[in-house]
Amino acid sequence: MSRLLLTDYKSLAFCIFTSTLLLFPDVPLWCFTLGILFWLWRLFCHVFDFTIPSRTITGILSFLALGVVLLDFRTLMGKEPAASFIVILAGLKSLEFSEESEKDFLVLLGFFLISSKFLFSYDLTYLILSIPIYVLLTLNLFPTAWLKASRNRALLYLGKVCLLAVPMAALMFVFFPRITKKLMELPTSSRYGTSGFSESVSPGSISRLSLSAEIVMRVELFNNATNLSSLYFRGQSLEKNSQMTWNYLRTNEGIKKSLVPKETDYKIILEPHYRSYIFSLRNTERMMTETLGIYHDLDFNFRFDSFLEKKAVILASFGEARPQVNAVTIARNTKMPDMSMLTAEQQKQIQVLVSQLKGKNARPEQISKSILDHFSSNRFAYTLETGENPSLNLHDFLFKQKKGYCEHYASAMALLLRLSGVPARVVVGYHGGEFNPMGNFWTIRQKDAHAWVEYVNSQNNWIYVDPVSVVAPQRIELGSNVYNSIINEMLTEDEIRKKISSTDTISQLSMWFDNINYRWSTFLLEYDFDRQKDILKSLNLSLGGALVMILIALFIISVFINLLQKRGVKKKFSELSFNEINNWAAQFDLQKKDNEGPVNWLHRILQQLPEKNKNSQPDLEKAFSMWIQMSYQKPLSETENKRTFSEIRKIIRRA
């Protein structure tokens, strides 16, 4: 029995295992690992023909797993706890599978697994991968004996089911009541964010993201053309520092709900990052989404009222000039960094440098420029290879290391500004992205993660400045993707131009698919009950009328598919002839017996036929002769078979 699942039900095992793999990004690592371990246990029993665990053991393991899920999430309600337990349960059920009667339950688990992914993602790639799994799971619902004896008929029936399911699903999506928002609001206690940012940034923490091509968001700009160098998406303002590490300082000052945009300047499709902050362009004043509330502080740092656990469509608009920075914020961002960990000599070196940068009666703008000039003229280098080093101090970076990634320079510049008496802070978010001309949108990935500086100018307004613009200006002009290729691949000038223009076939195909995926996600996310009502209104239909239309459409589709099937399947005229003869004989209780041959059946009919029908014996013998020849002797052509069947039917109806 240990070989039953992986020998007789290979397609079912493939479906369950693949569905488990597809949920890897959406469940905790320990849950996924446990599910895979159960599969490896089953494979071990299969290879070495060992006895599979008893139901008592798997039952105890399932209860233990349920308890651990409950302890980890503090609830069993929600997308992530439910998906995590189903992953473990599917692994356990696959481990104990030993009888054909258990197949249907395993198929049901497979449907749950593959469907639960839709609670986390609307990605078109996943939909394409899930279609063959749905088909195979449906095939495994058919009786095993039927699949083995009549595989072609089973596949034909499967095709009919799938052809009916697709238009029915489309019609239900368009006309049936929407529940998207309710699904978005399902609770979870996820702590496994994927945004790459926490509320703390230290030297090296952003540079490690440069290797990740994971999509963070897609952005569509409407009312103004924006070049790559000005695409700064702020996520968090970090105001508290310890050496070169900066942390988010949570305050409730000026928190209020964001107003609905008067007109949409840009739209964001934000991927789930299981945190509350939102990435916004500079001067964004209003943001809104259908599924979550959005708030902002005095500096217009935007946040959701809950963790973002599913893709969200965010509409945003720009505003007027920001109000001047208040005294409380200035005091918070003028706090001097702690230099006690440095030696007296190191502190003196920094003080001398700060005095040079300040000059006499210098304004904040002049100090900022002096710092940038210092970075550009003293052989500071931009590199990804510094590694994570949270203990790095300002002195070692300025006078020894002199190289780093964006967070190194942002941290150092903010510290130098504060030491010069200028209120300053570090801002983290994303810069740049890849423009898709086919869809007219930007794709921002983890490798576009960036850090820069904001300081208070002489008019008491926050001004952004990016020290990377003087250390590695190509990083700002070309974006991280092209710039990293130049550095890592040592591209020639022609190759750089080609990469920027993206004229190669692979890039074009990638943009084409990304555009389709973007439109698909946007359509699903924005298709709510209000839009559904608009469609029904444009068709002059009520919800009840739409339901009637769906039923009529399904009936027409069903008839059409049946007609197609009848046209495509060759009629077995020998079986039709047998049915004609057998139905006729049934009125005399002379239908064919299971163990009776054609000749013996004919002899029995002739002997027991009522006297009033004896005159039809010659016709019956002729009909039997024609049927036997068609069924058991030299095969006839399709036309001859059809003609023979018509003649047999005429004879039987006369008899």
Q: State pLDDT tens for residues 348-398.
A: 999 999 999 988 778 999 999 999 999 999 989 998 777 777 788 999 999
Is 0.75 surpassed by the pTM of this model? no
Does pLDDT of 44 surpass 70? yes
The model's confidence at residue 434, banded by pLDDT at 50, 70 and 90, is confident
71, 97 contact by CB (below 8 A)? no
The burial of 287, by beta-carbon neighbours within 10 Å (0-12 exposed, 13-18 middle, 19 or more buried), is given as: buried
36 occurs within a structural domain: yes
Does pLDDT of 509 surpass 60? yes
Q: Of 90, 109, 137, which residue sits at a domain end?
A: 137
Query: Which residue, 161, 157, 164, 160, is CA-closest to 550?
Result: 164
| CA–CA distance, 240 with 627 (Å, rounded to integer) | 94
650 occurs within a structural domain: yes
Mean pLDDT value across the chain: 82
Does pLDDT of 495 surpass 70? no
127 occurs within a structural domain: yes
Number of domains in the chain: 3
Beta bridge partners of 304: 294
| CA–CA distance, 302 with 233 (Å, rounded to integer) | 11
Per-residue confidence (pLDDT) for residue 565, from 0 to 100? 53
Query: Which residue, 470, 455, 385, 444, is CA-closest to 416?
Result: 455
Element spanning 457, H or E: none
Q: Which residues contact 464 (CB under 8 A, 6 or more apart)?
A: 232, 282, 427, 452, 453, 454
Residue 350 CB neighbour total at 10 angstroms = 20
Per-residue confidence (pLDDT) for residue 424, from 0 to 100? 96
Q: The tokens 């107003």 sit on which residue? A: 259
Cα Rg, the chain, nearest whole Å: 36
204, 389 contact by CB (below 8 A)? yes
Residue 189 CB neighbour total at 10 angstroms = 14
The burial of 10, by beta-carbon neighbours within 10 Å (0-12 exposed, 13-18 middle, 19 or more buried), is given as: exposed
Diameter over CA atoms, the chain: 133
151 occurs within a structural domain: no
**110 and 37 in a common domain:** yes
Q: Of 102, 118, 137, which residue sits at a domain end?
A: 137
**342 and 259 in a common domain:** yes
Per-residue confidence (pLDDT) for residue 45, from 0 to 100? 87
253 or 294: which leads in pLDDT: 294
**302 and 437 in a common domain:** yes
230 or 349: which leads in pLDDT: 349
183 or 139: which leads in pLDDT: 139
Q: State pLDDT tens for residues 630-639.
A: 877 766 676 7
Measure Cα distances from 375 to 305, 378, 409 in Å: 40, 6, 9
Instruction: Provide the residue range defining the domain that includes 590.
Output: 573-654
Please tell me the total number of residues recorded for the chain in this structure. 655
**226 and 108 in a common domain:** no
Count Cα neighbours of 301 within 13 Å in the Cβ-side half-sphere: 22
Per-residue confidence (pLDDT) for residue 274, from 0 to 100? 79
The model's confidence at residue 467, banded by pLDDT at 50, 70 and 90, is very high
481 occurs within a structural domain: no
**255 and 381 in a common domain:** yes
375 occurs within a structural domain: yes
Does pLDDT of 241 surpass 70? yes
Q: Which residues contact 14 (CB under 8 A, 6 or more apart)?
A: 136
Q: State pLDDT tens for residues 120-172.
A: 777 888 888 888 999 899 888 887 766 766 777 778 878 877 877 777 777 77
Per-residue confidence (pLDDT) for residue 315, from 0 to 100? 94
Does pLDDT of 37 surpass 90? yes
Q: Of 434, 467, 500, which residue sits at a domain end?
A: 467
What 259-263 contacts at long range (C-beta under 8 Å, 24+ apart), as own/partner pairs, is: 259/285, 259/286, 259/288, 260/286, 260/288, 261/286, 261/287, 261/288, 261/315, 261/316, 261/317, 262/286, 262/317, 263/223, 263/317
Name the 3-class secondary structure at 217. strand
Per-residue confidence (pLDDT) for residue 409, from 0 to 100? 95
**389 and 268 in a common domain:** yes
